[in-house]
Amino acid sequence: MTLNKSKTINLMDLSIEETGELVAGLGEPRFRAAQIYKWVHQKGVSRFDEMTDLSLKLRERLQALTTPGSLEILTRQKSKDGTVKFLFGLADRETVESVFLPHDYGNSVCVSTQVGCRMGCGFCASTMGGLVRNLTPGEIYAQVTGIQNDTGKRVSSIVIMGSGEPMDNLDHVLKFITMITAASGLQIGARHITLSTCGVVPGIMKLAAFDLQITLSVSLHAPNDLLRDTMMPVNRKYPVRQLMEACREYISVTNRRVTFEYALIKGVNDSAGQAEELVRLLRGMLCHVNLIPLNRVDEREYRQSDRERVQNFREVLEGAGIPVTVRREKGADIDAACGQLRRRAVKEWRWPDGLL
């Protein structure tokens, strides 16, 4: 069982089986576990007195020993396009960001998996202060229930693409996926979950071995080692050829199409020659390329490619028969790039006293 700093059991961290053990330990009948689990993992309640089908005595015992694990919403930023960015407060006063993205086909939530990140990508805001700590499975889960409750809208897909590197916290991420796809959870289909990695090869291999039906998304951003080394330190450990081998393995085990994310950066990775190099790298693979307009991060030098360059790059890939989409820039009027809201909060704003 995962304990938080105050040594209280976070109910959101527990699987249905672990909740059963907890309930048995309290001398309560087993069916109580399903009731408690529903309040926590389906309804995301924040207080024990909302658990109306439990006796007052049991609620008091739970209160003494556990917390329901819902997160405090510290700020919301709403974009004109309907995207809402949330800053959540954790029990130890750390903060994490999550994003609500409404689509025609349903609503998705982008969750964070770590406070900060240690991967050091040169264009990313999340990694600037390094890694603070991993999130627990429940802290990842509570971002989804928190957003569902706040917006009043059902969430039908999840992108594990917020701050942090999921492969650096894979056990917690896998438990989160198991819980949220389960009948006792939010029943989000594995095919509606995308996990994005900067290219941690052993993590990709481990995930392949689980043969889940989730979509693997790889943040590639460069077609060769020379360039990728300068942008993403992870590449020095797991160079492009190894990364591609791991992706091929993932595809052959799961039969799932892999997505490659490629953020176009002005004068860095957006030439026609680089597009052709990318074609050579990906030809024949069951894959899809997602071209992303770079989100400007104030502290970084990198700038967004011009529209024309994006169009050219796209045409080279399409001409070679590689499926490609250009991601619409969601929430461009808010701090949409990973980590920007938290960074601002850390710089300008402190937890109000007495909130916890």
Q: Which residues of this chain interact with ligand SAH, rule CB under 6 A?
A: 119, 121, 123-124, 161, 165, 196-198, 219, 261, 263, 292, 294-295, 297, 337-338
User: In this structure, what token pair is assigned to residue 158?
Assistant: 């999840």
Helix/strand/coil (H, E, C) string of 168-212? HHHHHHHHHHHHHHCCCCCCCCHHHEEEEECCCHHHHHHHHHHCC
- Name the catalytic one among 28, 94, 97, 139: 97
Asked if 137 contacts 172 with a C-beta cutoff of 8 angstroms, the reply is yes
60 given a catalytic annotation = no
The CB-of-343 to ligand SAH minimum distance in angstroms stands at: 12
Q: Which is nearer to ligand SAH, 84 or 124 (CB)?
A: 124
CA-based R_g, the chain, Å = 21
The CB-of-292 to ligand SAH minimum distance in angstroms stands at: 5
Asked if 68 contacts 11 with a C-beta cutoff of 8 angstroms, the reply is yes
Nearest to 143 by CA among 187, 100, 183, 182: 100
Q: Which is nearer to ligand SAH, 41 or 309 (CB)?
A: 309
Chain Cα centroid distance, residue 38: 23
User: In this structure, what token pair is assigned to residue 247?
Assistant: 């992706």
Q: Which is nearer to ligand SAH, 15 or 112 (CB)?
A: 112
Asked if 231 contacts 122 with a C-beta cutoff of 8 angstroms, the reply is yes
How many Å apart are CA 314 and CA 53, to the nearest integer? Answer: 56
Chain Cα centroid distance, residue 298: 23
How many Å apart are CA 277 and CA 291, to the nearest integer? Answer: 15
Residue 50 — φ and ψ, nearest 5°? -80, -15
Q: Which is nearer to ligand SAH, 182 or 251 (CB)?
A: 251
Asked if 13 contacts 185 with a C-beta cutoff of 8 angstroms, the reply is no
How many Å apart are CA 135 and CA 87, to the nearest integer? Answer: 14
97 given a catalytic annotation = yes
Q: Which is nearer to ligand SAH, 289 or 338 (CB)?
A: 338
- Name the catalytic one among 117, 121, 124, 338: 338
Catalytic residues: 97, 338
